[in-house]
Amino acid sequence: MDKKEALEKIAKRLRIHSLKMTAEAGSGHPTTCLSMADLITCLFFDEMRYNPENAEDWANDEFVLSKGHAAPILWAAYAEAGIISEKSLMSLRKITSVLEGHPTPRMKWIKAATGSLGQGLSAGVGMAMAMKLGKSPGRVFVLTGDAECAEGAVWEACNTASYLKLDNICAIIDINRLGQSGPTMHEHDIKAYERKFKAFGWDVIPVNGHDINEILKALKIARKNSGPTVILARTIKGKGVSFVEDKNGWHGKPLKEEDLRRALKELGPMPSINAKKFVHKPEKKKSHQLEKKYNFKKNTYKEKTATRRAYGNALLNLARINEAVVALDGDVKNSTYAEDFFKSFPKRAFQVYIAEQNMAGIGIGMSAKGYLPFIATFSAFLTRAHDQIRMASYSFSNIKFVGSHSGVSIGADGPSQMGLEDLALFRSIPDCAVIYPCDAYSTEACVESLARHRGLSYLRTSRPATNLIYSKDEKFPIGGSKVLRRSKNDAAAVIAAGITVHEALKAYDELKQERILLRIIDAYSVQPLDKVNIIKEVEKAGKKVIVVEDHYKSGGLGDAVAGALSGKAEIVHLAIKDIPRSGQPEELLDKYGINAKHIKNAAKKLLSR
Amino acid sequence: MDKKEALEKIAKRLRIHSLKMTAEAGSGHPTTCLSMADLITCLFFDEMRYNPENAEDWANDEFVLSKGHAAPILWAAYAEAGIISEKSLMSLRKITSVLEGHPTPRMKWIKAATGSLGQGLSAGVGMAMAMKLGKSPGRVFVLTGDAECAEGAVWEACNTASYLKLDNICAIIDINRLGQSGPTMHEHDIKAYERKFKAFGWDVIPVNGHDINEILKALKIARKNSGPTVILARTIKGKGVSFVEDKNGWHGKPLKEEDLRRALKELGPMPSINAKKFVHKPEKKKSHQLEKKYNFKKNTYKEKTATRRAYGNALLNLARINEAVVALDGDVKNSTYAEDFFKSFPKRAFQVYIAEQNMAGIGIGMSAKGYLPFIATFSAFLTRAHDQIRMASYSFSNIKFVGSHSGVSIGADGPSQMGLEDLALFRSIPDCAVIYPCDAYSTEACVESLARHRGLSYLRTSRPATNLIYSKDEKFPIGGSKVLRRSKNDAAAVIAAGITVHEALKAYDELKQERILLRIIDAYSVQPLDKVNIIKEVEKAGKKVIVVEDHYKSGGLGDAVAGALSGKAEIVHLAIKDIPRSGQPEELLDKYGINAKHIKNAAKKLLSR
């Protein structure tokens, strides 16, 4: 039996599995699986090198299924490769199964969760970058749908791959002509794809996506190219089952009993072949160890310093003792202060230009390969990557997002540059650590805490220089808080973070003159909030609370505190309630009601009730 | 004096204004203004047709400054055109001025707020689509930076423009080689841009961006093209001031006193010319009236119906009496049920394929031109457009976002397809109406309320069919709530919305058997929350509350209620606290603790305290 014949048999097995699995589950996308059956067969059973006994082998090739809705055929491929049992395929989409509707790393061979389209290529590029950095002999294959090429993030990823001349990544586009609700923009106009990918600097190889020999030949060429390669595979949605082939209206529909019977009859009996014999292991096993320490040397500060500046200092010193640290920039490194790291560690520093979605997606890929990406931009612009950040949480990524220029305190640039919804964005993600320090020392300590924390996290920094409040050696654990002013006679508590801590301290000083004492709490850990201690402090401070934050009213610190204190205290919430405008920082803090004056007034009003 | 000489004089005036304004403001981006001085001069004082007395003239050409940080030179152009006073330019970035750091529609000639890069082209495409639809003779010009072409959203917009063969849009790329933190990816490689734009179906004209005659000639060609045209202008950042020209490190830096003096000396005296004479009005004034009614005919339902299905029905009937209604789809119209509108109103229905950022950006443009865009996709995928949605709020856009497939109740597709952060996203936007109906009748009534509401709003729909609870004629105003079960002896209140209303009603029935009475509140208006009535109801129901929602724990209904009730009631919050997985809807509601069983248990526990 020649290779072509063998692979055709395996492809047929995958087709049959896909149809049966989705029919059993009662949902899923069988026709989407059928168009890529021959492609995935050539990849998993000829081209790719992977050690089926170890998903973490550093020599493995990696595979990303960007068109995540084709998960069933991916699970089928893993079964044929002997990685999971054939029987387990029938657990598709069941609540007890790791074979979910769209791939997640609950199944351990999955490195990047997919299902939000147009994201797989960025994750693949990130893996390819990590594998270059860590000298893996492996390569990355990303199987992408045609409809998802309408997503701009695909082109952002293409830019980075060609800019970095990544020769260890190969994208395969399954051009099956049909999207969910109808034909794609370019249908089977392969030339249209060819022009685009070429313009973005990729080598392009068009193939018939159902011709095993053509596919194998293309993969062989890709292997030898000196930059990124895309294989444009012309395919038929539903290929192999005549009554669904190339037909609109079959997206996301499993075959019902009678149709399944017809389809299986048409495909013929399950071919007898041991696909495991066609799995190729890498030449040598490889492991990859990086020195990872966290207790970096903290800087000494003598004057007011912006927390963004302290972040840059901390990143640099952390990187000196932690080889896993990498940093990505979207052309604002001179504002976020990642630039010192970029100068000192050019091999671990990546300029992805103004493309935040791709920056986050690359982070997913690099994290999956064991690196610790720090991704910094203006906090406002992290909204651009919200979908990728969401998917990073489903990839269980270990990424540290850093948002500078938070709040109205940035001043005259105006609302488009102000991060005012970033706390809401990151708080909504379960178990994401959301940290918002107010001075240089606490910022450095928070960077250490975040680096140690395994998982998604967000550090919010500010533009203006702020007073030094803490000492160099103080610890800032995730989930903590600090009481900055406390007496036995506190009439109310002020809960603040970042910029507003300084306003709260001013209000404290002024009200003290009037013999009104406030308890001042720095809730630098916005999530998880230090609920137990905050409740305790508030109960001893008159059960009256003012929360003040440089963030929109909903979703930030105020909501976090209200949730924690439900029923236990009266709360006044000072936050940005209108769309702000350009102005000086002090003017804006005043106009939008979050400066010392407003805290004082709120306290007096609360106490007079 | 020939035209070229005159335009060069105006360009010099704009350069001088830009330098002085930013020096006076003490911040801003003068070098970014200087590279585009000749381009904006040719546009505003030769090519464009606009009525300086009426920013709303339907015959006007429109201009979008995608590189929003160049705002000073735009304000200068409006001053030279006689639209604002020259004196007002010195108010740049002041808190009392509408001349903000980045353009916002507080200045009435601005139709789309910019400043988050890579968004202007989508807004421009949206305007061009609206102007075609409303038969405006005007055209749209979008001035875009080179660095921002790294944003994928730019290419999404290019796709739509070429797909729709928009001959009324012209983009001008100011290729000045330098980004914020260093050189751009392609620097002055104009061919690289040429390849990309051509591949995306645009006509391309490269020019020297400082040669007036070349620019004018290119604009003339663009005017006659049968599709979208891009002018690739090779420019020098800081052009006109030798010591900043083409130099890195001058981004976002105003000239200090001594430097300003040197620069002005080099530019020479302010040229004497009346630029107003070079403003070209449209041939005829035009107005544009659309029939806008809202009280559409509601459908009758006889069985369980999904709220997404009812949304599709409502949209169709609304569109029958409201000519302003347009709808955009990202290839999921058969899931959101926008498809009936697409069939009945093909001219007002736009397929933008899978490109949510561009879909939202187009909405900004269409809203700016008086249309009422309904933008529907899976609620999870609206996160993809978070930055555009944020900027839509700064554009004061009147867009109705609709998110289907919200929550774990979608079932087996898994977390990537579940909208679990959408309430947090939309609640964070000031004054955004956030509405989450639970049955078909309330959905239709909510669509009417949202259509009447001027501003951003969000309708959250669900995938599964749900029972009918309300009657056909009931009103659902924004900011309202409904009490579904109430007695004199209620021990606690359950506040729910959408899917969980039905679980709350089940819990009510079951607890009633045990002689425990609950007050059941449908908080369909998540924002603004019906605070006054909810407080009143809760106070009469034992001051004990269970909030239950199919959304992540932070940022949604629970936070909204906690904020509203601060100190007034004890609250238990049932929401999704972990990353969910594939499974059947009922299994998932149970596993993540938001079904009737969990409501019952929570109530009993709360009452036993």
Phi, psi of B317 (to 5 degrees): -70, -35
Of A101, A181, A414, the CB nearest to B582: A101
Of A25, A179, A584, the CB nearest to B412: A25
Instruction: Give the neighbor-by-neighbor strand order of the sheet with B492-496.
Output: B482-485, B518-522, B492-496, B544-552, B570-576
Peptide linkage before A373 cis (omega within 30 of 0): no
Contact yes or no for A74/A92 (Cβ under 8 A): no
Distance from CA of A239 to the nearest CA of B (A): 22
pLDDT of residue A321: 98
pLDDT of residue B163: 98
Percent of chain A at pLDDT > 70 equals 100
Q: For B42-66, what is each residue's pLDDT tens digit?
A: 999 999 999 999 999 999 999 999 9
| Average pLDDT for B101-127 | 98
What ipTM does the predicted assembly reach? 0.98
What are the chain B neighbours of A68 within 8 Å (beta carbons)? Answer: 416
**Which of A387, A434, A529 should we substitute to test contact with B (largest number of B Cβ atoms within 10 Å)?**
A387
* Runs of H (alpha helix) within B377-495: 386-394, 422-427, 440-452
What are the chain A neighbours of B102 within 8 Å (beta carbons)? Answer: 413-417
- Spatial neighbors of A481 by CB under 8 A, at least 6 apart, are A521, A522, A523, A524, A525, A529, A530, A533, A534
pLDDT reading at A10 higher than 80: yes
Distance from CA of B543 to the nearest CA of A (A): 9
Nearest Cα residue in chain B from A379: B387
pLDDT reading at A447 higher than 80: yes
This model's pTM is above 0.90: yes
**DSSP E strand stretches across B221-362:** 229-234, 305-306, 325-329, 349-351
- CA separation for the pair A5, A511 (Å, rounded): 85
What are the structure tokens assigned to B275, written together?
A: 């630029």
CB A331 to CB B179 under 8 A? Answer: yes
Say which of A156, A356, A448, A549 is annotated catalytic.
A356
**Which three-class secondary structure state does DSSP give residue B570?**
strand
Task: Count contacts between A and B (CB, < 8 Å).
Answer: 346
Q: For B296-332, what is each residue's pLDDT tens digit?
A: 999 999 999 999 999 999 999 999 999 999 999 999 9
pLDDT reading at A320 higher than 90: yes
Burial of A321 (0-12, 13-18, 19+ CB in 10 A): middle
Residue type (1 letter), B140 = V
- For the CA atoms of B10, B15, B19, B24, the dihedral, rounded to the nearest 10 degrees, stands at 30
pLDDT of residue B365: 98
CB B381 to CB A358 under 8 A? Answer: no
pLDDT of residue A355: 98
pLDDT reading at A546 higher than 80: yes
Contact yes or no for A253/A265 (Cβ under 8 A): no
Distance from CA of A280 to the nearest CA of B (A): 31
Element (H, E) at B545: strand B544-552
CB A430 to CB B27 under 8 A? Answer: no
CB A387 to CB B391 under 8 A? Answer: no
pLDDT reading at B284 higher than 90: no
CB B357 to CB A152 under 8 A? Answer: yes
pLDDT of residue A269: 97
| Average pLDDT for A331-352 | 97
Q: Could you tell me whether strands A433-435 and A400-404 are parallel, antiparallel, or unpaired per DSSP bridges?
A: unpaired
pLDDT reading at B4 higher than 90: yes
Question: Chain centroid to CA A57: how far?
Answer: 23
Residues in chain A: 609
pLDDT of residue B488: 96
What are the chain B neighbours of A583 within 8 Å (beta carbons)? Answer: 93-95
Q: Which of A574, A530, A527 shows the shortest CA–CA distance to A550?
A: A574
- CA separation for the pair A205, A228 (Å, rounded): 11
Q: Which of the four pLDDT bands, split at 50, 70 and 90, describes residue A197? A: very high
Q: For A496-523, what is each residue's pLDDT tens digit?
A: 999 999 999 999 999 999 999 999 999 9
Q: For B18-36, what is each residue's pLDDT tens digit?
A: 999 999 999 999 999 999 9
Q: Which of the four pLDDT bands, split at 50, 70 and 90, describes residue B286? A: confident
What are the chain B neighbours of A327 within 8 Å (beta carbons)? Answer: none
- CA separation for the pair A265, A598 (Å, rounded): 76
pLDDT reading at B287 higher than 90: no
CB A152 to CB B155 under 8 A? Answer: yes
Peptide linkage before A415 cis (omega within 30 of 0): no
Of B393, B581, B584, the CB nearest to A579: B393
Contact yes or no for B532/B594 (Cβ under 8 A): no
Q: For A96-152, what is each residue's pLDDT tens digit?
A: 999 999 999 999 999 999 999 999 999 999 999 999 999 999 999 999 999 999 999
- Spatial neighbors of B354 by CB under 8 A, at least 6 apart, are A117, A118, A147, A148, A150, A151, A179, B330, B331
What are the structure tokens assigned to B575, written together?
A: 């929401």
pLDDT reading at A247 higher than 90: yes
What are the chain B neighbours of A357 within 8 Å (beta carbons)? Answer: 152
Q: For B374-433, what is each residue's pLDDT tens digit?
A: 999 999 999 999 999 999 999 999 999 999 999 999 999 999 999 999 999 999 999 999
What are the chain A neighbours of B106 within 8 Å (beta carbons)? Answer: 581
CA A564 vs CA A482, B29, B58, B559, B570: distances in Å: 17, 44, 53, 10, 11
pLDDT of residue A437: 98
Q: For A200-224, what is each residue's pLDDT tens digit?
A: 999 999 999 999 999 999 999 999 9
pLDDT reading at B73 higher than 80: yes
Q: Which of the four pLDDT bands, split at 50, 70 and 90, describes residue A1? A: confident
The residues of B annotated with a catalytic role in the active site are 356
**Which of B308, B428, B531, B552 should we substitute to test contact with A (largest number of A Cβ atoms within 10 Å)?**
B428
What are the chain A neighbours of B333 within 8 Å (beta carbons)? Answer: 181
Q: Which of the four pLDDT bands, split at 50, 70 and 90, describes residue A413? A: very high
CB A424 to CB B420 under 8 A? Answer: no
**Which three-class secondary structure state does DSSP give residue B580?**
coil
Nearest Cα residue in chain B from A384: B387
The pLDDT mean for chain A works out to 97
pLDDT reading at B285 higher than 90: no
Of A182, A335, A413, the CB nearest to B101: A413
Q: Which of the four pLDDT bands, split at 50, 70 and 90, describes residue A285? A: confident
- CA separation for the pair A230, A222 (Å, rounded): 8
